[in-house]
Amino acid sequence: MRNGLLALLCLCGCNGLFEADPNFTESDGNSTSDAQTTDSPTTEAPSSGPSTTSGDSPTGSSTEGADTPPTECVEDTYEDNDSLGGARVGELIADGPFVVEANLDDSADEDWFKVDIAPSGALRPEPSLSVVASLDTEVCIFVRCTLGDAELDCGSFDAVTAGPNEGDPPGCCGTTAVSLGYDCIGAVELDGFAYGRVRAAAPIDACLPYVATISDAS
């Protein structure tokens, strides 16, 4: 009787103790339900929001064509400005770059422009002139100090004078673009005038339209 009771208890208890866990897998020892919960986020498709690599760049179409030379001559309202004395005056410094849209009529034509230059705070003026055109242009900057004589640092550009006459201001010339630094010898202030000159670098047989920008690093 005792042996039969023990056998019956063992039969019932042992089956409950060794009943297989339905969630157990031999492959990784983890439960199937846990694997499903962990893996479900990795199967979610990424968001299909708008792309920022096509057309959304800050340097998009608004800057395209900014350096494209003009193809047609416009009415040149700056003429007659064929000499230093006839240079057309433009604003610089506080008002930003002086931008000109004009034409060279032929090989003999040259255009002159004039801007005031002065230090801005602790920054020294560094006048520059650049031209966008379909052909190369010779561009020059000449400086005349309000007080004292101008002494220029042309760097890699060519040092020249505005003309053969005594007192002509010194300048620097280059092809398409030129910049310089200067001092006013004998004066404390660097106030003065910068004269920009634009002319064709080689003979031309037709009107040459261009856009010129006179600026100041200060």
- Distance between CA atoms of residues 93 and 97, nearest Å: 7
Give the position of tokens 């910049």. 179
C-beta separation of 178 from 80 below 8 A: no
pLDDT of residue 105: 94
Q: 16-25, 54-63, 163-172: which range is least confident on average?
A: 54-63
pLDDT of residue 120: 75
Mean pLDDT of 22-50: 41
Domains and CATH numbers, the chain: 88-216 (2.60.120)
Is it the case that residue 90 has pLDDT exceeding 70?
A: yes
Percent of the chain topping pLDDT 70: 66
**CA-wise closest residue to 102 among 135, 128, 72:** 72
**CA-wise closest residue to 197 among 165, 170, 217, 218:** 170
pLDDT of residue 129: 96
Q: How confident is the model at residue 92 (pLDDT cuts 50, 70, 90)?
A: low
Is it the case that residue 60 has pLDDT exceeding 90?
A: no
Mean pLDDT of 45-54: 36
More confident residue, 48 or 180: 180
Name the strand (E) or helix (H) holding 23.
none
Is it the case that residue 22 has pLDDT exceeding 50?
A: no
CA-CA-CA-CA dihedral for 92, 96, 97, 99, to nearest 10: -100
pLDDT of residue 95: 58
Which DSSP category does 53 fall into?
S
pLDDT of residue 14: 41
- Distance between CA atoms of residues 78 and 93, nearest Å: 21
Percent of the chain topping pLDDT 90: 53
pLDDT of residue 7: 43
pLDDT of residue 124: 84
Give the pLDDT confidence of 114-140 residue by residue, as tens digits. 999 888 776 788 999 999 999 999 999
Is it the case that residue 197 has pLDDT exceeding 70?
A: yes
Name the strand (E) or helix (H) holding 151.
strand 149-153
